[in-house]
């Protein structure tokens, strides 16, 4: 990405703050030029001292040098204030644009990228641009102005010594150019990839830490995390080794200016040492390190530019992910029925999780989705809630294609209670009120009561106002489930999808969850994903899935007698239950 392109992309995010960013570059350049003035005054002082002039002029030049340095500092601080304000705005705008976009993506896109990677892009990439605008760009502007000013001064005082002190810097610039070519840009990309892979694996590892602890450290996730760390280490060591000769050459050239100056001084002093030559030499000895510092800075600026170019590419990569389409004028569902017409969906090309599936669930019906593991039950439920769009066919709610229903209306129409419901780090009250943000305190408490949460509130120090996650306040899986049912009760959506809602509950919690669920289900279309077939006895319609297709459907009794897949699964579950009871009886 070219410099102008990086700048124009960054300025897109700056809005009205772009003027501040530009002001910061001008102020930084001005500060750098003011910072050169003391060198001139010092040269004048040394020339006067070596030439034996009066001390009044020297004192005046000394003061002028001090004033110029102070002015340079003040202008630099003003520049930094402007650059920081612009940088914070750019980073904030970038983060909020990314977050809005991520929220509009189908759930699958975010998952396939990896939560760790996504988090790294949102935080690290915007931080890289913040740093670039706040410090590196003003620094670049100051360095370029100072280098140009120094170049002019160096050539002005004694062009021969000037050329000698600039020659090594010029050679260093050539070696830097060789180092920073397109290959370096690619390498910076590889570096960021390795870093983000490691961060992603770290997040996944920490998320699965309980499994890791249970099964020892040779589990898959740890292997992957270790692999990512090793890849990163290998990359960094390889890169450092590859850069070693270039860096040695660059640093040696930049630092060798004194050698050239000494040689040049001796050559110029062949006919005798004059005060003018001495003061010029003093000037060059003072100024030349500044040239070296500038060249070092330029090298790091080029590297920073590559980092920010890479960060922008990653941000653009996320922004390029296609969000779920939204209708211009949303249509309203006529009722709470659900219809799937020839729906096919696959997470990856060539493998369908749902395959040409058609199904009709009438409004107010209790439907159960059953089938072997991986048969497509969860995917089907998620397609109804439009977590993804099918690649073929249509999903209709109340006779309207879900793609033609406004996002907000669809969210209001469908509630999802997940297998592993998650609560956010906020009070129980706020967690429940997320179901309907406008709900009154009484309504939230009524929902908590209907969801059988009385015992949970009673044992917490501040009841519903207790902050979850703070001071070690955590809820069990079954308790979390009941709070999320309270949220769904408050939301009161006409279609309710229950993904194995009692999967992680103990018997006490299970009976409370069942009571909460029957309260929640009243008068609603319920689509329940179930593994325990005994829990679907009261369903109006049982849909049996296999390989992404509905292979049987009907009432429980009829399917149990029919001799198909459902009857087989039912028999197996019953004999497993008998075996478990017998085993427990023997161990008593
Ligand atoms: N996020 C995902 N990315 C890729 N493939 C997936 C994803 N989720 C599910 N699958 C695959 O899609 C198929 C259907 O999975 P799905 O979770 O819908 O089945 P299920 O019947 O709900 O399974 P289970 O009863 O085990 O929860 C499986 O082959 C599964 O491996």
Instruction: Please provide the average confidence, as pLDDT, over all residues in the chain.
Output: 83
Residue nearest atom 30 in ligand 1 by C-alpha distance: 374
Rounded average pLDDT over 341-364:
91
> Looking at ligand 1, which atom is closest to the CA of residue 378?
22
Q: Residue 47's pLDDT is what?
A: 76
Residue nearest atom 28 in ligand 1 by C-alpha distance: 374
Rounded average pLDDT over 433-442:
87
- pLDDT of residue 239 exceeding 90, the answer is no
ipTM topping 0.90: yes
76: enclosing H helix or E strand: helix 55-104
Q: Which two tokens stand for residue 533?
A: 């077939």
Q: If you measure from the C-alpha of residue 352 to the centroid of ligand 1, how many angstroms do you get, rounded to a whole number?
A: 10
262: enclosing H helix or E strand: helix 257-268
- Please report where in the chains the tokens 């129409």 appear, as a residue: 413
> Looking at ligand 1, which atom is closest to the CA of residue 108?
1
* Residue scoring higher pLDDT (467 or 141): 141
Q: If you measure from the C-alpha of residue 77 to the centroid of ligand 1, how many angstroms do you get, rounded to a whole number?
A: 57
> Looking at ligand 1, which atom is closest to the CA of residue 382?
18
- Please report where in the chains the tokens 């940088």 appear, as a residue: 87
Q: Which two tokens stand for residue 227?
A: 């692999």
Q: If you measure from the C-alpha of residue 379 to the centroid of ligand 1, how many angstroms do you get, rounded to a whole number?
A: 6
At residue 224 the predicted structure's pLDDT band, cuts being 50, 70 and 90, is: confident
> Looking at ligand 1, which atom is closest to the CA of residue 531?
25
Q: If you measure from the C-alpha of residue 209 to the centroid of ligand 1, how many angstroms do you get, rounded to a whole number?
A: 22
Q: Could you give the residue ranges of the DSSP H alpha helices within 320-440?
A: 377-384, 407-413, 428-433
What is the Cα–Cα distance from 41 to 46, expressed in whole angstroms?
A: 9
Bridge partner residues of 4 (DSSP): none
Angle at 245 between CA 244 and CA 251, to 5 degrees: 85
What is the Cα–Cα distance from 489 to 138, expressed in whole angstroms?
A: 55
At residue 339 the predicted structure's pLDDT band, cuts being 50, 70 and 90, is: very high
* Residue scoring higher pLDDT (342 or 60): 342
What is the Cα–Cα distance from 287 to 251, expressed in whole angstroms?
A: 17
Buried/exposed 240-273: b ≥16 CB within 10 Å, e otherwise: eeeeeebeebbbebbbbbbebbeebbeebeeeee
**Domains parsed from the chain with CATH numbers:** 3-201+246-319 (1.20.1560.10), 338-587 (3.40.50.300)
> Looking at ligand 1, which atom is closest to the CA of residue 380?
18
Instruction: Look at residues 86, 94, 67, 70 and name the one whose alpha carbon lies nearest to residue 25.
Output: 86
Q: Residue 213's pLDDT is what?
A: 62
Q: Residue 27's pLDDT is what?
A: 96
Q: Which two tokens stand for residue 28?
A: 């930084």
Q: If you measure from the C-alpha of residue 374 to the centroid of ligand 1, how many angstroms do you get, rounded to a whole number?
A: 5
**Residues whose CB falls within 8 Å of the CB of residue 468, separated by 6 or more in sequence, listed in order:** 423, 424, 425, 426, 427, 428, 431, 474, 475
Residues with CB under 6 A from ligand 1: 111, 347, 353, 371, 373-379
Rounded average pLDDT over 538-562:
89
What is the Cα–Cα distance from 66 to 58, expressed in whole angstroms?
A: 12
Q: If you measure from the C-alpha of residue 108 to the centroid of ligand 1, how many angstroms do you get, rounded to a whole number?
A: 12
Instruction: Look at residues 514, 362, 503, 509 and name the one whose alpha carbon lies nearest to residue 419.
Output: 503
Q: Which of 113, 347, 370, 381 to mutate to test the pocket of ligand 1 (most atoms within 8 A of CB)?
A: 347
Q: Residue 506's pLDDT is what?
A: 61
> Looking at ligand 1, which atom is closest to the CA of residue 369?
21
* CA 494 and chain centroid, separation: 34
Q: Cβ distance 195 to 123 under 8 Å?
A: no
Angle at 356 between CA 351 and CA 358, to 5 degrees: 140
Count Cβ atoms within 10 A of the Cβ of residue 165 and give its class: 0-12 exposed, 13-18 middle, 19 or more buried.
buried
162: enclosing H helix or E strand: helix 159-179
- pLDDT of residue 185 exceeding 70, the answer is no
* Residue scoring higher pLDDT (515 or 503): 515
* CA 558 and chain centroid, separation: 51
Instruction: Look at residues 520, 530, 529, 535 and name the one whose alpha carbon lies nearest to residue 484.
Output: 520
Q: Cβ distance 168 to 250 under 8 Å?
A: no
pLDDT digits (tens, 9 = 90+) for 109-167: 666 666 777 887 888 888 888 888 998 889 989 999 998 898 888 888 788 888 888 88
At residue 577 the predicted structure's pLDDT band, cuts being 50, 70 and 90, is: low
Q: If you measure from the C-alpha of residue 184 to the centroid of ligand 1, how many angstroms do you get, rounded to a whole number?
A: 41
Q: Residue 28's pLDDT is what?
A: 95
Cα-Cα-Cα-Cα dihedral of 507, 511, 514, 515, to 10°? Answer: -160
What is the Cα–Cα distance from 394 to 384, expressed in whole angstroms?
A: 10
* CA 544 and chain centroid, separation: 39
Q: If you measure from the C-alpha of residue 381 to the centroid of ligand 1, how many angstroms do you get, rounded to a whole number?
A: 11
Cα-Cα-Cα-Cα dihedral of 61, 63, 69, 73, to 10°? Answer: -160
Q: Identify the weakest region by mean pLDDT among 480-484, 550-554, 575-579.
A: 575-579
- pLDDT of residue 219 exceeding 60, the answer is no
């Amino acid at each position: 990405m070219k410099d102008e392109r990086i700048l124009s992309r960054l300025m897109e995010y700056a809005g009205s703050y772009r003027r501040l960013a530009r002001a910061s570059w001008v102020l930084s350049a001005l500060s750098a030029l003011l910072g050169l003035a003391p060198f001139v005054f010092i040269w004048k002082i040394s020339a006067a001292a070596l030439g034996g002039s009066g001390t009044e002029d020297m004192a005046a030049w000394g003061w002028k040098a001090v004033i110029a340095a102070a002015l340079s500092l003040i202008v630099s601080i003003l520049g930094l204030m402007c650059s920081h304000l612009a940088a914070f705005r750019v980073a904030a705008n970038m983060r909020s644009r990314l977050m809005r976009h991520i929220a509009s993506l189908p759930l699958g896109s975010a998952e396939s990228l990896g939560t760790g990677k996504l988090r790294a892009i949102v935080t690290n990439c915007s931080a890289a641009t913040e740093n670039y605008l706040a410090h590196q760009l003003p620094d670049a502007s100051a360095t370029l102005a100072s280098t140009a000013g120094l170049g002019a001064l160096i050539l002005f005082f004694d062009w021969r010594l000037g050329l000698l002190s600039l020659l090594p810097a010029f050679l260093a610039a050539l070696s830097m150019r060789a180092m920073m070519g397109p290959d370096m840009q690619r390498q910076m990309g590889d570096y960021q990839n390795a870093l983000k892979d490691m961060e992603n694996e770290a997040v996944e590892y920490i998320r699965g830490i309980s499994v890791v602890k249970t099964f020892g450290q040779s589990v898959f996730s740890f292997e992957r995390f270790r692999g990512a760390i090793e890849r990163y280490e290998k990359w960094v060591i390889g890169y450092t080794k590859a850069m070693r000769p270039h860096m040695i050459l660059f640093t040696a050239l930049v630092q060798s200016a004194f050698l050239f100056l000494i040689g040049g001084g001796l050559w110029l002093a062949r006919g005798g040492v004059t005060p003018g030559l001495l003061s010029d030499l003093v000037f060059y000895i003072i100024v030349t390190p500044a040239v070296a510092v500038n060249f070092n800075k330029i090298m790091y600026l080029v590297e920073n530019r590559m980092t920010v170019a890479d960060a922008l590419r990653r941000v653009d990569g996320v922004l390029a992910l296609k969000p779920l389409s939204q209708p211009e004028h949303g249509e309203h569902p006529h009722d709470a029925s659900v219809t799937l017409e020839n729906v096919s969906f696959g997470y990856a090309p060539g493998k369908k999780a749902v395959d040409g599936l058609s199904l009709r669930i009438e409004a107010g019906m209790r439907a159960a989705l059953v089938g072997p593991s991986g048969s497509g039950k969860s995917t089907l439920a998620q397609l109804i809630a439009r977590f993804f769009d099918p690649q073929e066919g249509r999903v209709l709610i109340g006779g309207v294609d879900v793609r033609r229903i406004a996002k907000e209306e669809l969210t209001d129409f469908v509630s999802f209670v997940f297998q592993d419901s998650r609560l956010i780090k906020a009070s129980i009250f706020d967690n429940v009120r997320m179901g309907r943000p406008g709900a009154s305190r009484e309504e939230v408490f009524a929902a908590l009561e209907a969801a059988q949460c009385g015992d949970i509130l009673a044992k917490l120090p501040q009841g519903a106002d207790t902050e979850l996650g703070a001071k070690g306040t955590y809820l069990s899986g079954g308790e979390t489930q009941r709070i999320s049912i309270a949220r769904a009760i408050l939301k009161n959506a006409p279609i309710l999808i229950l993904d194995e809602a009692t999967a992680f509950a103990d018997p006490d919690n299970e009976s409370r969850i069942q009571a909460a669920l029957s309260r929640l289900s009243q008068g609603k279309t319920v689509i329940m994903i179930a593994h325990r077939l005994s829990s679907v006895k009261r369903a109006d319609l049982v849909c049996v899935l296999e390989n992404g297709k509905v292979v049987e459907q009907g009432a429980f009794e009829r399917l149990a007698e029919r001799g198909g897949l459902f009857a087989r699964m039912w028999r197996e579950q019953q004999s497993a239950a008998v075996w478990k009871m017998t085993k427990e009886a023997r161990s008593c």
